[in-house]
């Protein structure tokens, strides 16, 4: 005797008892297998993939991950490697920007507009801007690139 979790085309879930796996297939084929709730004969074995999918989704969720958090530790090794690479890239980007861009703090939108309007010599600037300010800049035709946050790597601090 085998018991299968079954599901009909209307998503009803129920158990079916069979002599063996072949019995399930032949009952399916002959239309004998029907849903006890709606009598639909489109009944199939419930896919266990849904469970697997839910698990892997939580691992690859884009939620912010701190290096020492549980989420990071739960990552498969590939994920951890990719995360380390991403962290390296991010810190390279930040290093480049630290060296080549003038920090204007929260005056970013003002300064960017001044440069755009020719009131100030062109230079690379970095700083913080609100969403509204960024929208304003975009409308003025000023190109500004949002920057991902600086990675925190507690392990590699010297
Ligand atoms: Zn049904």
Q: How far is the CA of 139 from the centre of ligand 1 (A)?
A: 54
3-state secondary structure of 129: coil
Q: How far is the CA of 114 from the centre of ligand 1 (A)?
A: 66
Q: How far is the CA of 45 from the centre of ligand 1 (A)?
A: 13
Q: How far is the CA of 63 from the centre of ligand 1 (A)?
A: 37
Does the pTM exceed 0.85? no
Say whether pLDDT at 49 is over 70: no
Nearest alpha carbon to residue 35 among 44, 25, 26: 44
Helix or strand holding residue 51 (H, E):
helix 49-59
Classify strands 125-126 and 102-103 as parallel, antiparallel or unpaired: parallel
Q: Give residue 42's pLDDT band: very low, low, confident or very high (50, 70, 90).
A: very high
Q: What is the mean pLDDT of residues 9-19?
A: 93
Q: How far is the CA of 56 from the centre of ligand 1 (A)?
A: 29
pLDDT at 52: 43
d(CA 30, CA 130): 65
pLDDT single digits (tens) 62-110:
555 555 544 444 555 677 777 788 788 778 888 888 888 888 888 888 8
pLDDT at 134: 83
Mean pLDDT rounded to a whole number for the chain: 78
């Amino acid at each position: 005797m085998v018991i299968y979790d079954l599901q009909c085309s209307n998503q009803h879930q129920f158990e079916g008892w069979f002599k063996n796996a072949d019995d399930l297939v032949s009952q399916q084929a002959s239309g004998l297998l029907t849903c006890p709730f709606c009598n639909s004969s489109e009944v199939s074995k419930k896919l266990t993939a849904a469970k697997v999918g839910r698990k892997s989704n939580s691992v690859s969720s884009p939620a912010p991950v701190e290096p020492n958090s549980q989420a990071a530790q739960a990552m498969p090794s590939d994920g951890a490697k990719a995360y380390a690479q991403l962290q390296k890239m991010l810190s390279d980007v930040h290093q480049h920007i630290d060296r080549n861009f003038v920090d204007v703090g929260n005056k970013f939108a003002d300064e960017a507009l001044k440069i755009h309007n020719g009131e100030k010599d062109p230079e690379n600037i970095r700083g913080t801007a609100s969403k509204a300010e960024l929208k304003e800049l975009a409308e003025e035709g000023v190109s500004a690139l949002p920057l991902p946050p600086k990675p925190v790597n507690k392990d590699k601090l010297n």
